[in-house]
Structure 1
Amino acid sequence: MQNEKNPGVTVSHDRPTAGPTEPAPRVRAHDRRPLLCVAAMTIVFSSLVSCVSLFGLGPTEEELLAVNYTPEGIGDWAVSTPEAQGLDPLDVARLYYDAAQLETIYGLLVARNGQLVAEGYWHGSDSSQKHNLTSVTKSYMGALVGKAIEQGYIESIDQCMVDYFPEFMPMHDPRKEEITIRHLLQMRAGYPWEESSPELFSKLWLEGFHVSDVVDIPLIRDPGTDHDYSNLSSHILGLIVARATDMDLRDYGQQNLFSLIDSEVGEWPITWDYYRPGYGLIDFSARDAAKFGQLYLDDGLYAGNQVLPAAWVADSLKTYSEDAWDYRIGGNVKEIGYGYQWWLLRSGSHHYNMAWGHGGQVIMVVPDLEMVVVLTANPFFGQSDDESWRNEKANINLVADFIAGLPNE
């Protein structure tokens, strides 16, 4: 999710929440004219719809029919149409109409049944551009851990973190010797959220991550007891994969995962202590991000090849922590949980998984609809404040509202 930052950054620790909603109108028990009321309400509703269209508060059907979301036929995705894949084209048109009103969106893709049915770009972006996906990196990081286990570089998910940091043994806090790779994946290792205090924010974002933070950052709870969103935990996973494989993390990912799904990683900078950040800053195009989502939708299969073990994908998308996010995002973002570096949530009747990055980058994997939705946006690099959070929520709500409105299969 959020906060891959640079020195000199200020941060707001108070996440704004939406205000109270208007109470829904109630039918009074003493009203003896129900049919008249229904008729009157129907007239009022029709008038409101007309006014909405007349005064530009919502798109007319003519405006929706004019929206162009046709995917580019450039060969790396099979393309289709919403109608052919069982979607109402007006629903898709409304999604893209609303997307065009947002301030920070770069790209929006919808794939259904393994075919790209809608694609659009704004604010100078296009299908070839790679963008900083911020904390969506964490979901890629979870996949790389699974790949390293499959290839035998890492013994198991229950291997202890300290096996890869012998230089710090024995640990000053013996509880850290109990932290496993499973704890790190689930963000249940006991490390704190870096925005929980100015001191931690300064330590991890102004001074920078260092390998020694494995020791230096104190635990706030015993390992395995509860969830705390932790960039450090994801960074440690990156350190473990790099040390286990004895490879640069970017090179390992490109050779053993990204190339296998016809994707090419862009920038993934080397930061402090000469390691790449496992918590963020990876660059991919929106199309390549959609391929990663499709990989998880298809249980680790891509073009007939088992790229990731199906069991790993299934375990990654399970809920290990409920109520994992405390701040309100929108009315259709509910039941937010956490798996292995993936979020889980519900919009309407649809339960699905989300890779989530600062600024509102998302890869949404919706199993019951056989759908993947990708949104890329301004990453607000180095900015964590009310403006970035407002735009992040707007981007997430755009997709969540679209998913919530889709009928059950």
Structure 2
Amino acid sequence: MVHKNIRTFSAVLTMALLSQPIAVSAGEDDARWLSPTMINARASMFEPTLNFLTFQHMDQMFATRTVAAAENAKALPSKPISLEGEYEIDGKKLSLEEALESTSTNALVVVKDGNVVFEAYRNGSDENTRFLTFSVAKSYVSTLIGLALADGSIKSLDDKVTDYLPEMKGSGYDGPTIRDLLRMRSGVEWLEVYEFGSDTQLTKVHDNALVAYKYRWCDYAVNESRPGPNAPGSAFNYATLDTSVLGCVLEKAVGMTGAQYMSEKLWKPAGMENDAYWIMDGPPSVGREFFGAGLAATARDHARFGLMFLNNGLSEGGKQVVSEDWVKEATVPDAGSEPAGPGEDFGYQYQWWTMPGSDAYSAIGLYHQFIYVDPASNLVIAKASHTAEPVGHDKENMDLFRQITARLAN
């Protein structure tokens, strides 16, 4: 569907982007990210036969900011359990390895009762590989907003976006609150369609910000966003632009980059094992973290983040990193919010998807990335994938997670 003509899209896109001047003043450190080769690489990063690899090496195609981990962090305790056996995926009986291949798995980490019980790394990856997991980043941005609320940098979730970003006055973000953006109910006119190389709204910003480094995501929000047909707070409309603006609110509120704040308030206190990084929407002199979908981290650290939420905000070492109240507010659906909207299978709270009929919830990213948290089973599953299509395979992965959960319950 979307990517059958990805090579053609990439070639056309690159020529179109290079036909216009790059809108940055490039220094020596910037210039390396603005060459035709690098622009073409970013335009081609979703190539289905190679995305298993590109998703592991985004720091070689993008300018990045590091989220530093604490020194001498300890690994999560491990109690390996065999998950071998028969799985049914999309109506087919498969072995575990076949199920992992069928769901385009790069890495899978399963944590049960606080212990890593299973790890699988495939396609050249290992426990130190940092995978770009796309919109999984949204759940981290939500958490950073919660931390900024707790330390007083943000006064209230009912503050207006323009209280922190006055440059948004007159834009589509003149009116919505921080809470509206957390719940994807900004009311901003936005169509989230993944046809990279086309002229849809999302891909226009993707191509110009992430691929060509011509402007930032928040620049688009300031200059191009408009109110949509729904009032702020009234209707769910999934918008990566909303999360990008949340990240810019965070930066202004805390007075530092998102990566710095994340390191100090989340990554180090939670005891993450490895540095993470954000890909940026521009070269170092002007780029900002791609808050909507740009965090790369190891599967183990994603699992540790899920475990912290499973434990009501406590790190594995017993430190209260995120408040128990925030965990509940961010992940327990409001009445009537499941499903989130017409055509949606899941509910949506504060940048976490919720699972109707259970208390499970998940961070979910494009090309089928997951941090799945199941409190009833005391279980967390982190999965990095590389599917050919960006969306459409959630059921197969959820079926795999349920079968793993059932196997561990026996």
Greater CA deviation, 252-261 or 212-221?
Answer: 212-221
Residue from 278, 281, 284 that aligns with 2:297: 284
Q: CA deviation at 1:350?
A: 4.3
Q: Name the aligned partner's letter for residue 291 of structure 1.
A: R
Which structure 2 residues correspond to residues 43-58 of structure 1 after superposition, within 5 A?
Answer: none
Number of the residue aligned with 2:139:
139
Q: Name the aligned partner's letter for residue 284 of structure 1.
A: A
3-state SS of the aligned residue for 1:97?
helix
Q: CA deviation at 1:82?
A: 4.0
Indicate conservation of the 8 Å contact 1:352/1:367, yes or no: yes
Q: Name the aligned partner's letter for residue 340 of structure 2.
A: A
Structure 2 portions without partners, runs of 5+: 4-8, 15-42, 45-72, 89-93, 210-215
CA gap 1:202/1:126 in 2 versus in 1, 3 angstroms: closer
Q: Name the aligned partner's letter for residue 117 of structure 2.
A: V
Indicate conservation of the 8 Å contact 1:157/1:182, yes or no: yes
Number of the residue aligned with 1:322:
338
Q: CA deviation at 1:90?
A: 4.7
Q: Aligned equivalents of 2:261 and 2:74: distance in 1? A: 26
Number of the residue aligned with 2:204:
203
| CA-atom RMSD in angstroms | 3.3
Which structure 2 residues correspond to residues 9-88 of structure 1 after superposition, within 5 A?
Answer: 76-82=75-81
Q: Aligned equivalents of 1:401 and 1:90: distance in 2? A: 10
CA gap 1:98/1:118 in 2 versus in 1, 3 angstroms: same
Q: Name the aligned partner's letter for residue 77 of structure 2.
A: A
Structure 1 portions without partners, runs of 5+: 11-73, 329-334, 381-385
Q: Aligned equivalents of 2:246 and 2:102: distance in 1? A: 34
CA gap 1:90/1:104 in 2 versus in 1, 3 angstroms: closer
Indicate conservation of the 8 Å contact 1:107/1:125, yes or no: yes
Number of the residue aligned with 1:45:
none
CA gap 1:196/1:75 in 2 versus in 1, 3 angstroms: closer
CA gap 1:388/1:400 in 2 versus in 1, 3 angstroms: farther
Q: CA deviation at 1:251?
A: 1.4
3-state SS of the aligned residue for 1:389?
coil
Q: CA deviation at 1:140?
A: 0.6
3-state SS of the aligned residue for 2:110?
strand
Q: Aligned equivalents of 1:372 and 1:179: distance in 2? A: 33
Residue from 275, 295, 299 that aligns with 2:308: 295
Indicate conservation of the 8 Å contact 1:82/1:89, yes or no: no
CA gap 1:95/1:265 in 2 versus in 1, 3 angstroms: farther
Indicate conservation of the 8 Å contact 1:353/1:365, yes or no: yes
Instruction: Deviation per CA, 1:129-155: give whole Å up to 9, x if none.
Output: 111011100001111101111111111
Q: Name the aligned partner's letter for residue 372 of structure 1.
A: V
Number of the residue aligned with 1:56:
none
Indicate conservation of the 8 Å contact 1:142/1:185, yes or no: yes
Computing the radius of gyration from Cα coordinates, the structure with the larger value is 1
Q: CA deviation at 1:269?
A: 2.1
Q: CA deviation at 1:92?
A: 9.1
3-state SS of the aligned residue for 2:248?
helix
Which structure 2 residues correspond to residues 154-173 of structure 1 after superposition, within 5 A?
Answer: 154-169=154-169, 171=170
3-state SS of the aligned residue for 1:374?
strand
3-state SS of the aligned residue for 2:346?
strand
3-state SS of the aligned residue for 2:367?
coil
Does residue 310 in structure 1 map to residue 358 in structure 2?
no
Q: Name the aligned partner's letter for residue 211 of structure 1.
A: C
Indicate conservation of the 8 Å contact 1:105/1:395, yes or no: no
Q: CA deviation at 1:207?
A: 2.5
Q: CA deviation at 1:124?
A: 1.0
Q: Aligned equivalents of 1:339 and 1:406: distance in 2? A: 29
CA gap 1:267/1:211 in 2 versus in 1, 3 angstroms: same
Residue from 219, 237, 240 that aligns with 1:231: 240
**What is the total number of aligned residue pairs between the two structures?**
322
Instruction: Deviation per CA, 1:96-129: give whole Å up to 9, x if none.
Output: 3343433631111111111111111111111111
3-state SS of the aligned residue for 2:256?
coil
Indicate conservation of the 8 Å contact 2:137/2:295, yes or no: yes
